Amino acid sequence: MALTAQDAIASLNKLPLAQKIGVLVFIVGGISAANYFLLVQPEYEQVQRQEGVLHTLDDELSQKQAIANNLAQFKHEKDILERRLQQALTELPNEANIDELIRSLAEIGAKAGLTINDITPQPEQKQSFYASIPIVMAVTGTYPEIGVFLDALSKLARIVNVTNIKMGSPKMQGDKLVVAASYVATTFRFVPETANPPAKPGAPK
């Protein structure tokens, strides 16, 4: 025969006070434990997982914020490096561009008042990472005109070194004392590294 709720209450009323208290404590403890395991613990674990996700997101946000804060600095440094590269390529270009340089030398000489007698480029001489390209020049003019020409060469964006300057005896030409001069104007170009060419079939490795 099943025990009804009324029978349970009647049996509980017959117990001494101390036992009643013990039974009530047991029931309350059971209910509390059931509430903890069924309700409180799952919620607590969910809160712990959410806190872990929140910490991860906070870390990612901090990292991305740091990157964003440095983007302006990175862009500024990149712009500086690009300008330095362009300046370096102007001074030491990848291509020889000798025809353009010869035109510049002739124009500078003419503006200085010189008579250009000869401009002859010589074969380039390769070094480790650059090649030098000598250009033999012969001009006629006064000492001040030659000085103006050499000063203008020193101010070119592209590197041009003047060596082996030779001057003949000065002589009167009209109302000017002129001298025939020859020298070597050497320019340079950057030689990029090239990959090793593929080996021919059957060639020893």
Alpha carbon distance 109, 100 (integer Å):
14
- The structure's pTM equals 0.50
Q: Which amino acid is at 14?
A: K
CATH (domain of 119): 3.30.70.60
151 vs 54, residue with greater confidence: 151
By residue range, what is the domain housing residue 120? 98-190
| Gap between the Cα atoms of 146 and 113, Å rounded | 8
> Tens of pLDDT along 83-115?
655 554 454 555 667 888 888 889 999 999 999
By mean pLDDT, which of 8-22, 45-59, 181-195 is the weakest? 8-22
Q: Is residue 137 part of a domain?
A: yes
The DSSP bridge partners found for residue 132 are 125, 188
- Do 144 and 182 share a structural domain? yes
pLDDT band, very low/low/confident/very high, at 187 (cuts 50, 70, 90): confident
Same domain? 54 vs 115: no
Q: How far apart are CA 134 and CA 182, in angstroms?
A: 13
Whether residue 140 contacts residue 183, with contact meaning beta carbons closer than 8 Å, is answered with: no
The residue behind tokens 């010589």 is: 122
Are 33 and 80 found together in one domain?
Answer: yes
Q: How far is CA 99 from CA 34, 44, 105, 106, 159, in A?
A: 95, 81, 10, 11, 15
Q: What is the pLDDT of residue 155?
A: 85
Per residue in 106-144, pLDDT (tens digit) is: 999 999 999 999 999 888 888 777 788 898 999 999 999
**The predicted structure's pLDDT at residue 148:** 92
169 and 116, same domain (yes or no): yes
**Do both 103 and 185 map to the same domain?**
yes
